[in-house]
Amino acid sequence: MTEQRRYEGRTALVFGAGSDGEGWSNGKAAAVQYAREGANVLAVDMRRSAAEETREIIAGEGGTCIAVVANAIDGSEVQSAVQGCLDGFGAIDVLHNNVGIGEMGGPVETSLESWNRVLDVNMKSVLLTTKYVLPVMERQGKGAIVNISSIAAIRWSGVSYVGYYASKAGVNQMSRVIAGQYAAKGIRCNAIMPGLIDTPQTYKNLADQYGDGGGASMAEARRQQVPMKKLGSAWDIAKAAAFLNSDEAKFITGTVLTVDGGMSCSMVAPPPKAA
């Protein structure tokens, strides 16, 4: 299928644009999707190899990408990345916030260090990136933002990680609040709640929560949780974001789009080991 070219002449700034493992993560797919549709992409990741890999894929397909190393919860590094985007491409039309982590444990098991880390990475990253990008978009009189949340923001999935659920609920509300404050300034902000997506990091971080602890049994258990009986792919999330940040969605702001194969409308969630 030929890609649309909705981003011709535009710039997309993607935080968490690499992949934590071989294959397609949500952030890497989003960066490549924007580029395939014509965008100049600034790919930010805290790991140089991850940012570079995304840059190489985009360059290999004939697109334009600058790779930048920055930690999305370090204010001065975020500021430098934003400036790097302006220096390299002269504008920021799209901000895509993909950075997010989960650490296991309910309220009893979660240490304060873990709680603070998860809330920092998942919410402070949105605070800092929007802190430095919104003034740029305001000067431009336009811009669009997508924050990657999770259906964990609104549902119990069976995996016990209280900080993840809480922080993703925060991402949803931050997205609505930014949308409300900046709507009259030509800036839109939306969130996407992915359901169960088949990305490399899930095999590292979630496998021991399911069945025999192996990646294959985890993937099968997760498939069975989804009414469509399949996992989503990183491209399902990338394409939803490419729609929301495009002019096709010009009257959509403050929405939280669920991309989950029907999981959040189901009464059943169970598998994982957590009671």
Segment near ligand NAD (CB under 6 A); pick from 71-79, 127-135, 138-146, 246-254: 71-79
Around 185, how many Cα atoms within 13 Å sit in the side-chain half-sphere? 17
Q: Does 271 bind ligand NAD (CB under 6 A)?
A: no
E strands, 40-106, are 40-45, 64-69, 94-97
The nearest distance, CB 63 to ligand NAD, in angstroms, is 19
Q: Does 209 bind ligand NAD (CB under 6 A)?
A: no
The nearest distance, CB 221 to ligand NAD, in angstroms, is 13
Candidates 197, 226, 244, 257: give the one binding ligand NAD (CB under 6 A): 197
Candidates 7, 10, 11, 27: give the one binding ligand NAD (CB under 6 A): 27
Residue 90 falls in which region: left (phi positive, over 0), alpha (psi -120 to 50) or beta? left
Q: Does 26 bind ligand NAD (CB under 6 A)?
A: yes
Q: Does 50 bind ligand NAD (CB under 6 A)?
A: yes
Q: Is residue 164 flagged as an active site residue?
A: yes
Q: Does 129 bind ligand NAD (CB under 6 A)?
A: no
Residues in 89-108 at the binding interface with ligand NAD, rule: CB under 6 A: 98-100
Q: How far apart are CA 28 and CA 128, in angstroms?
A: 21
What length is written for the chain? 275
Given 164, 165, 182, 210, the catalytic residue: 164
Q: Which residues contact 93 (CB under 8 A, 6 or more apart)?
A: 7, 10, 11, 12, 39, 140, 142, 143, 144
Between helix 125-140 and helix 162-182 the angle, nearest 10°, is 20
Candidates 11, 16, 41, 218: give the one binding ligand NAD (CB under 6 A): 16
Q: How far apart are CA 195 and CA 259, in angstroms?
A: 6
Copy the structure tokens of residue 122.
Answer: 């998942």
The nearest distance, CB 51 to ligand NAD, in angstroms, is 8
Spell out the alpha helix ranges (H) of 90-161: 112-119, 125-140
Quick check: 42 and 88 in contact, CB under 8 A? yes
Query: How many residues at the interface with ligand NAD, by CB under 6 A?
Result: 28
Candidates 159, 187, 196, 256: give the one binding ligand NAD (CB under 6 A): 196
Q: How far apart are CA 58 and CA 31, in angstroms?
A: 8
The nearest distance, CB 2 to ligand NAD, in angstroms, is 25
Nearest to ligand NAD by Cβ — which residue?
A: 100
Q: Does 272 bind ligand NAD (CB under 6 A)?
A: no
Copy the structure tokens of residue 211.
Answer: 């069945």
Q: Does 194 bind ligand NAD (CB under 6 A)?
A: yes
Nearer to ligand NAD, 16 or 271 (CB): 16
Q: How far apart are CA 145 and CA 253, in angstroms?
A: 9
Catalytic residues: 164
**Residue numbers at the binding site for ligand NAD (CB under 6 A):** 15-16, 18-20, 25-27, 45-47, 50, 71-73, 98-100, 121, 125, 148, 150, 194, 196-197, 199, 201-202
